[in-house]
Structure 1
Amino acid sequence: MVSQPDSLDAAGPPPLAGLMDEVWQEYAELVTQELHSRCSALADPLDEICGYALLPPGKLLRPLLCLESANALGADPRIAVSAAAGLELAHVGSLMQDDVIDSGLVRRGRPSVYAAFGVPAAIVSGDALISSLFDALARSDPAVADRDVIRSVRHAAQAICAMCHGQLLEDRLSGGDDCDLDAYQQMIRNKTAAAFRGSCEIGATLAGATAAEVALLGDYGEQLGMAFQIRDDLLPFTESEPDVGKPRADDLANGRPTLPLVLAARALRLPRSAFADCYRNGTFDAVVALVTDSGALERSWDMARGHVACAVQQLFSLPESPSRDRLMSVAHYAMERRV
């Protein structure tokens, strides 16, 4: 495996792990309580299946971005707790369906819903969780203006449609050799970054933000999401399998276009299928060595750093505050995370 580079900026904010102060801990507890409440309200067997997928919760990054976006604009973040939990419901629902599409047997280090409960359960339960986002928005705090609830629903719908577009783009690009950098970027902008954008837009909208403020935080979220996905693509090349939480060769075996492979194929003038052949005839470490020698890993790090810098730049238009600092720290975390 290849170690990650030094911290993005030694003078910059700490990574997310160092940010779990009382504020973020309170956010996480509020969202987790809401998730428990949502699961217990579901009818059997949805409650069992969704509870298995949701609890204990993961990083809760999208909910925390929603709450912090509201806070950064001077609103009480508690007005967005229902929406924040809804974003996690939709996120987990989309992962359940991703695993069906990819035949993914492992999620977060244990059997996926697809593996544990089967295809129908994963698809239908995923639909239930995704639709729960709209119910969560409709249950927004009474202090939120009706027009802002409607605006937030629009942002949610746009994010989900973009994610569907991104999934179809990935399907089109998977298994073949025709994936250039532009196609890859369009794919992750839709499949991954749209959810980050939507999380920030929803938090800002529920806070009563202007269109310009919503766009600013949305742009921050999109750049953060791009960096986050690139780091995700790098994890199999830099971390151990237990840390990654799924087989390191999973993306390669499924023919998914990830940035290191796209860049390595271009640098070495090889079809992407050549890396799958290398894996079948050897080990994944042989693929890591080939990709590393091509310079693709360092180029991937550079691109991720560029997106982080763009994300942070957006935040300088906001007033100085602890909330803004936390949003900056999340951007650094996108680079420094190991899981």
Structure 2
Amino acid sequence: MELQEYFNEIVRNVDMEIQNRLKGDVKGLYEASYHLFTAGGKRLRPLVVVSVANVLGGDINRAYLAATAVEILHNFTLIHDDIMDQDTIRRGVPTVHVKWGVPMAILAGDLLHAKAFEVLSDALKGLENDRIFLGFSEFAKSTEIIAEGQTMDMEFENRNDVTEVEYIKMIEKKTAQLFSCSAFLGALISKANDYFLDKAKILGLKMGTAFQIVDDILGLTAEEKDLGKPVYSDIRESKKTILLIRALNEASESEKKTIMEGLGSKDPEKIRKAAEIVKNLSLDYAYSLAEKLAEEANRIIEEWDSNTSIGGKALKYLVELTVKRRK
């Protein structure tokens, strides 16, 4: 089976499951909950769940359900993130709170949070009790960790002394944790032992951290039509990305002054000038960090599978895509 066909099959099954789950009598609530799913999305986390399960011999139907649970949880976080960041566009369409209002968007996120656990319960049903416990524990803990990461991200907006170590810790929590949980669930439903469960977490964490670093890069380099949201929004919102942290460390006094004038500004020209300096001083460094993480992730995949199974090939491709994507 070709990789594209393999990925399409996963996405079809996950999307069908999501569609079936997000139906109810309160029409507006379910429309708001389903909105971002209709706008596309990469479905990377579901692809990780199913590919890990494939490599480790897991049941495909359980894998589809676990993948669905992860994707629903991910979209719950996106809806609430957009409210907090006051973003108006996501995946090229109006955000949920813009289209339905903040109260409905909060409720839509709450519904998705509950639905994610509901679907996970079906994915784990019939496994040994200790595995069911581990699955729910990791899923719940991931939700807590993501909330911690989002809080750190918001707090960093009011600081100009955020370190690279702090940034990495923040994105491991905010973004990489759900990748880690995805790989873990793929291994868990495959009845993998503790060694493989731990390796799966590390694999997901490396992939997710690289993904967020590249996401931060794309926020400065991608075209708005590809990005699906306004460019330079990280500068406008004074987000402390690895690029900004590196640039502030490397900048001359005059460059630093221009960067600081752009941070949090509403002036498009000041934002653009700040972004250009940040790009010049930090792009190569940020890419090298992402590539190092990708290499570490690939070593784990090669330990599991030397590119002999479709799942192993898929995971290697996903790691490469995480670093080399352009949107």
Pick one of 287, 293, 298 that aligns with 1:312.
298
The answer to whether the aligner puts 1:32 opposite 2:15 as a matched pair is: yes
Bigger RCO of structures 1 and 2 (CA < 8 A, at least 6 apart) = 1
The answer to whether the aligner puts 1:255 opposite 2:238 as a matched pair is: yes
Q: Which has a greater percent of helix?
A: 2
Q: Which residue of 2 aligns with 1:160?
A: 143
Tell me, in whole angstroms, the C-alpha distance in 2 between the residues paired with 1:111 and 1:261: 27
The answer to whether the 8 Å contact 1:137/1:149 transfers is no
Q: Which residue of 1 aligns with 2:320?
A: 332
Pick one of 280, 285, 289 that aligns with 1:293.
280
The answer to whether the aligner puts 1:229 opposite 2:212 as a matched pair is: yes
Pick one of 205, 223, 231 that aligns with 1:240.
223
Tell me, in whole angstroms, the C-alpha distance in 1 between the residues paired with 2:27 and 2:268: 46
Shift of 1:99: 0.7
The answer to whether the 8 Å contact 1:108/1:245 transfers is yes
Partner of 1:129: helix, strand, or coil? Answer: helix
Residues 278 and 96 from structure 1, CA distance in 2 versus in 1: closer, same or farther, beyond 3 angstroms? closer
The answer to whether the aligner puts 1:149 opposite 2:149 as a matched pair is: no
The answer to whether the 8 Å contact 2:232/2:272 transfers is no
Q: Deviations over 1:152-188 (max 9, x none)?
A: 1111112111101101111111132121111111110
Shift of 1:279: 7.6
Residues 266 and 279 from structure 1, CA distance in 2 versus in 1: closer, same or farther, beyond 3 angstroms? farther
Pick one of 93, 101, 117 that aligns with 2:76.
93
Q: Deviations over 1:105-160 (max 9, x none)?
A: 11111110011111111112111112222111111265533432221111111211
Shift of 1:326: 1.0
Q: Which residue of 2 aligns with 1:52?
A: 35
Pick one of 156, 162, 179 that aligns with 1:179.
162
The answer to whether the aligner puts 1:280 opposite 2:263 as a matched pair is: no
Shift of 1:239: 1.3
Residues 33 and 318 from structure 1, CA distance in 2 versus in 1: closer, same or farther, beyond 3 angstroms? same
Q: Which residue of 2 aligns with 1:220?
A: 203
Pick one of 163, 175, 179 that aligns with 1:192.
175
Shift of 1:286: 2.2
User: How many residues matched?
Assistant: 320
Shift of 1:50: 1.1
Shift of 1:195: 0.6
Tell me, in whole angstroms, the C-alpha distance in 1 between the residues paired with 2:220 and 2:286: 11
Tell me, in whole angstroms, the C-alpha distance in 1 between the residues paired with 2:67 and 2:27: 24
Tell me, in whole angstroms, the C-alpha distance in 2 between the residues paired with 1:120 and 1:281: 30
Greater CA deviation, 202-211 or 225-234?
202-211
> Which consecutive residues of structure 2, in runs of 5 or more, have no partner in the other structure?
none
Q: Which residue of 2 aligns with 1:210?
A: 193
AA matched with 1:47: Y
Pick one of 99, 116, 124 that aligns with 1:133.
116
Tell me, in whole angstroms, the C-alpha distance in 2 between the residues paired with 1:186 and 1:36: 34
Shift of 1:69: 1.1
Partner of 1:236: helix, strand, or coil? Answer: helix
TM-score, normalised with respect to structure 2: 0.92
Residues 241 and 308 from structure 1, CA distance in 2 versus in 1: closer, same or farther, beyond 3 angstroms? same
Greater CA deviation, 135-144 or 248-257?
135-144
The answer to whether the 8 Å contact 2:177/2:205 transfers is yes
AA matched with 2:263: A
Residues 129 and 277 from structure 1, CA distance in 2 versus in 1: closer, same or farther, beyond 3 angstroms? closer
Percent of residue pairs bearing the same amino acid type: 26
Q: Which residue of 2 aligns with 1:5?
A: none
Shift of 1:40: 1.9
Tell me, in whole angstroms, the C-alpha distance in 2 between the residues paired with 1:330 and 1:177: 34
Partner of 1:25: helix, strand, or coil? Answer: helix
AA matched with 2:298: V
Residues 335 and 279 from structure 1, CA distance in 2 versus in 1: closer, same or farther, beyond 3 angstroms? farther
Greater CA deviation, 112-121 or 136-145?
136-145
Shift of 1:101: 0.5
The answer to whether the 8 Å contact 2:179/2:204 transfers is yes
